[in-house]
A and B are shown apart, each in its own frame.
Chain A
Amino acid sequence: MNALKKLFGGNTRQFGMIFALVALIVFFQIFTGGRTLTPGNVINLFNGNSYILILAIGMVLVIIAGHIDLSVGSVAAFVGVSVALAMRDWGLPWWAGVLFGLLLGAVIGAWQGLWTAYVGIPAFIVTLAGMLLFRGFNQFVGKSNTIPVSKEFQFIGSGYLPEVGPDTGFNNLTVLLGLVAVAFVVIMSLRARATNKALGADVPELWVEVTKLVLICGAILYATYLFATGRPGTSFPIPGLILAVLVLIYGFIADKTVLGRHVYAVGGNRHAAELSGVQSKKVNFMVMMNMSILAGLAGMIFVARSTASGPFDGVGWELDAIAAVFIGGAAVTGGVGTVIGSIVGGLVMAVLNNGLQLLGVGADLTQIIKGLVLLAAVAFDVYNKSQGKRSITGLLLKNFGRNNELKPDETTSTKEVISKEA
């Protein structure tokens, strides 16, 4: 048990979610008679959820900073219809359409950021207004019609990695991508281990590290196999690729950059952050603006996938994105959350959706189950906090082994200090 604990130690809450995700996949794989982990189904799952996952990346930053964004679905729809119109009526090429969409997202984000950060209106209100505003704009500029988009543009939503090189029976580029991912994971974790060792920080035992790596790489390779062996013409989907790149970029920003640190600081304790020289208004503006840019991107991907923009695109997306973030371990009060966690949270919802569909469960029951899962995940989190614990796995393993909690109040006694000083 201690070994298990070590293996899933570190960021325990996140590993708890990964646990849940794996359990869910195994469950559905068994009960759907193997229909879950087929190339076709997995590709579908990614295609149908990548835009929600992209929203979740932006949403987790918003939520870490202590806000919320209810407008993402409407913003996505408005950007989608605007881009479709711009390409049809102004004859913009697909790449210019994408740039235009991102720019429009930035402008909308600046608008919402302005109200939230500089005027000081709670993001809930600003984005509730935005939800109405941009839904209205979508139907106004699109005249509530369906507007088709070109084949080239459709590629960003429904394209796949092309076939290149010799016929190996696999999609070569997908295989390459999988191998690069494995190499990346191995090199990064070994480097981190070496660094920590050099600094004298605690490192887990070698076998723990190796087992962890084997498990992660195994999962990546298995996914690669699934993506590379789909029916002809399919392989790793382009939206999945965009998502992967965004996860890397935003994971890096959140974890390693000054801006990322500031987002966590503002969400964790705004006053303390301000008294440490963090410009909290700027930070709030940036996260709100970023969210709308990503919403614009998600909207475009959706339009590209469904080959046309429509008046009801993106309805309810905000709720899916927010749910993904909270299942992924973010705190309602801000300051806590990770990009990767939100992706896992989003995948939990996606797998649940997909699996229930495969089992032929109706939409009514699916919603009930999803609602319960969201509630349970957050309730667990709240319960853990009230118990002064942080991890789900810790909770599951509570009765096994010893709790190596540290004694908080070890302060040097006066005598000891005086004798040291002398």
Chain B
Amino acid sequence: MTSLDTQGDPILLEMRSITKEFPGVKALSNVSLRVMAGEIHAICGENGAGKSTLMKVLSGVYGYGSYTGDIVYQAETQQFKDIRASEAAGIVIIHQELALIPELSIMENIFLGNEPTKWGVIDWAEARKRSLELLARVGLREDPDTPIKEIGVGKQQLVEIAKALNKSVRLLILDEPTAALNESDSQHLLDLILGLKGKGITSIIISHKLNEIEQIADEITIIRDGKSIETLNVKRDGVDEDRIIKGMVGRTLESRFPDHEPKIGEVFFEVKDWTVGHPQIQDRLICKGSNFYVRRGEIVGFAGLMGAGRTELARSLFGHSYGRFIKGQVYKDGKPVNLRSVRAAIDAGLGYVTEDRKSLGLNLLDDIKTTTVSAALNKISNYTVVDTRKEFSVAEEYRKSLRTKTPSVEEGVAKLSGGNQQKVVLAKWMFTDPDLLILDEPTRGIDVGAKFEIYGIIQRLANQGKGVIVISSELPELLGLSDRIYTIFEGAITGVLDKNEASQESLMKLMTSARKTA
């Protein structure tokens, strides 16, 4: 039996005051969500607001007991201890990173972990028959024997849905289903979700693409800072993109910034028509003819949602270390420069602090002093012999000036907290003495106190006449720090706003639409 709400619509799912804590962080606090049977329910919120965590609680990735609150599904309180339990109840989640095995065929993927058997042996005839039906339902015309790696992301997404349908899904959860898709694939997918709705399948969709949500959602729940803010009914409340954005960002600035009086000089770094292809997928572009410039002493923000192409832009500039370079030119001090290798980029005065400190930024086996000098070993060595005295004193100098908390510079970087690790990484790049420092999510995973210090360091670098590019998912951070902010959407720069004309609303609008306003 399904319960009814006050208007007499059947309620399929109700999550009541869900609270989920990770060590030191409250990811969700008292979140409530109510989903009607047969509707498409969108969940909106900024990166890190808690959307994915909420869905993981629902689908049993974080099992019963690891959170507090109740999940009422089909009028019964559920205690999913793992994904299998939630799938048995008809809840299927499709993650942003698809869980398909590239080497296996479409058919094998659809039935993976759920193989039809006869006397313990897989019944391939049955599997083929059923997969043909399922593929027809999702509108995918491919041979079931085609390996997954040979079909595009859009079609892979459809295979995921076919796989979900095979599990007799009642509630389908899609996490950023169109993030990696082009326009026509996205449209096809959205039509399919609408079609499934007609067949009685309820969907929860998480998306940053507000225009899509506006188009297909019946209700929208907005989550901000781990709390559920409001639920909007699209038809009744006349919701549009602006209304959603207001809900998503409507908070006061929480973090604080050191006072900073920018001393901005002339343009010294310019990028023209920067075009880069996806490293694996042939005709997909990750940077679409980007143009931008940086002035001396200027902090330039890059705003964009996850997957918009911010990191890809930065890394492709920094020694072509990501993607396939297609065309574009970089000018420094008016002269064209070639940044064909990381070495060349460092020599040309660029530095890049990665967003992924642990896997791209640090050798966790190293100690602080070796890390500090590792990008500029030539500065402390004579005839390729490293001067360990200089190494120590350089590391010591940065430890003092950046106030890195460590008993000694001989301590392993793996033992440091995130904030202190980031200071070591900053020291490493400051020691290369770059003219332009690109900081990719410089405060990710860092507590408030250390954030404040890192902001101070960034401002000091700008005051020395260096250009700083800050890429961040946190809009308040960009607004508090930057002198100018570019917005990126799907690999293209969609606008640039001055410090005084930028607001969370205006940025969010440029970050979520391809509208050219620049």
Q: List residues of A whose CB falls within 8 A of some B CB.
A: 195-196, 198-202, 256-259, 261, 264-265, 268-269, 271-277, 279, 335-336, 406, 408-418, 421
Q: In the complex, what residues of A have CB within 8 A of residue B393's CB? A: 199
Interface size class of B (residues with CB under 8 A): 35 or more
A421 to B456, CA, bound (A): 9
A residues in contact with B410, CB < 8 Å: 201-202
Report B280 CB to chain A, min CB distance, Å.
Answer: 15
Known: A199-B396, A258-B381, A271-B360. A335 touches B449 (CB 8 A): no
Chain B 375-409 interface 0/1 with A at a Cβ cutoff of 8 Å (1 = within) = 10110010011101100110010000001010111
30 contacts between A and B (CB under 8 A): A195-B388, A199-B392, A201-B410, A257-B385, A257-B386, A258-B377, A259-B384, A261-B370, A261-B386, A264-B363, A264-B365, A265-B374, A269-B360, A269-B363, A269-B365, A271-B360, A272-B360, A274-B342, A275-B360, A276-B346, A276-B428, A277-B341, A277-B342, A277-B345, A335-B365, A412-B450, A412-B453, A413-B449, A417-B452, A421-B258
Q: How far does the Cβ of A140 sit from chain B's closest Cβ, in whole Å? A: 39
The residue of chain B having its C-beta at the shortest distance from the C-beta of A192 within the complex is B388
* Interchain CA distance A336-B370 in the complex, whole Å: 14
The interface stretch among B122-130, B151-159, B416-424 is B416-424
B374 touches A261 (CB 8 A): yes
Interface hub of A202, A265, A416 (most chain B Cβ within 10 A)? A265
Identify B449's interface contact among A198, A406, A414, CB under 8 A. Answer: A414
B342 and A411 contacting across the interface, CB-CB below 8 Å: no
**B415 on the interface (CB 8 Å rule)?**
yes
Q: Is B364 part of the contact surface with A, judged by Cβ < 8 Å?
A: yes
Q: Measured between C-beta atoms, what is the minimum distance from B315 to chain A in Å?
A: 8
With A269-B363, A275-B321, A276-B374 already in contact, the answer to whether A199 and B389 are too (CB < 8 A) is yes
B interface residue numbers (CB < 8 A to A): 256, 258, 318-319, 321, 341-343, 345-346, 352, 354, 359-366, 370, 374-375, 377-378, 381, 384-386, 388-389, 392-393, 396, 403, 405, 407-411, 415-417, 419-420, 428, 447-450, 452-453, 456
The distance in angstroms between the C-alpha atoms of A274 and B375, with both chains bound, is 10
Would you call A275 and B449 a contact (CB within 8 A)?
no
With CB as the reference atom, state the residue of chain A lying closest to B387: A256
* B363 and A335 form a contact (CB under 8 A): yes
Q: Are B362 and A256 in contact (CB under 8 A)?
A: no
Residues of A within 8 A of B354 (CB): 275
Q: Is A414's CB under 8 angstroms from B405's CB?
A: no
Among B321, B392, B450, the residue within 8 A (CB) of A201 is B392
Q: Looking across the interface, which residue of chain A has its beta carbon closest to that of B354?
A: A275
Q: How far is the CA of A199 from the CA of B391 in the complex (A)?
A: 10
Residue of A198, A202, A277, A417 most packed against chain B (CB within 10 A): A277
Most buried by B among A195, A259, A279, A417: A417
- What's the nearest-Cβ distance from chain B to residue A28, in Å? 35
User: Do A412 and B416 touch (CB < 8 A)?
Assistant: no
Pair B378/A258 contact, Cβ less than 8 Å? yes
Known: A199-B389, A201-B410, A421-B456. A271 touches B359 (CB 8 A): yes
User: Is there an interface contact between A412 and B388, defined as CB atoms closer than 8 Å?
Assistant: no
Asked whether A268 lies within 8 Å of B363 as measured between CB atoms, the reply is yes
* B360 in contact with A258 (CB, 8 Å): no
- Nearest chain A residue, comparing its CB with the CB of B411: A406
Q: Say yes or no: B359 contacts A277, CB within 8 Å.
A: no
Would you call A411 and B447 a contact (CB within 8 A)? yes
The distance from the CB of A118 to the nearest CB of chain B, in whole angstroms, is 15
Residue numbers in A under 8 Å from B415 (CB-CB):
406, 408
Contact assessment for B420 and A269 in the assembled complex, using a CB-CB cutoff below 8 Å: no
Residue from the list A201, A261, A275, A413 in contact with B342, Cβ < 8 A: A275
CA distance in complex: A417, B366 (Å): 28
Q: Are A265 and B447 in contact (CB under 8 A)?
A: no
List, in ascending order, chain A residues with CB within 8 A of B374's CB.
261, 265, 273, 276
In the bound assembly, the distance between CA atoms of A198 and B346 in angstroms comes to 32
Do residues B364 and A268 form an inter-chain contact, with CB atoms below 8 A? yes
Q: Are B417 and A411 in contact (CB under 8 A)?
A: yes
Expressed in whole angstroms, the Cα–Cα distance for A201 and B388 within the complex equals 12
Q: In the complex, what residue of chain A is closest to B392 when comparing beta carbons?
A: A199
User: Closest Cβ of chain A: how far from B403's Cβ, in Å?
Assistant: 7
Chain A contacts for B319, CB-based, 8 A: 277
Contact status of A276 and B389, CB under 8 A, knowing A411-B449, A413-B449, A417-B453: no
Q: How far is the CA of A411 from the CA of B415 in the complex (A)?
A: 13
Instruction: Among A195, A196, A261, A408, point to the contact of B416 (Cβ < 8 A).
Output: A408
Q: Kindly state the separation between the CA atoms of A272 and B363 in the bound complex, as whole angstroms.
A: 7
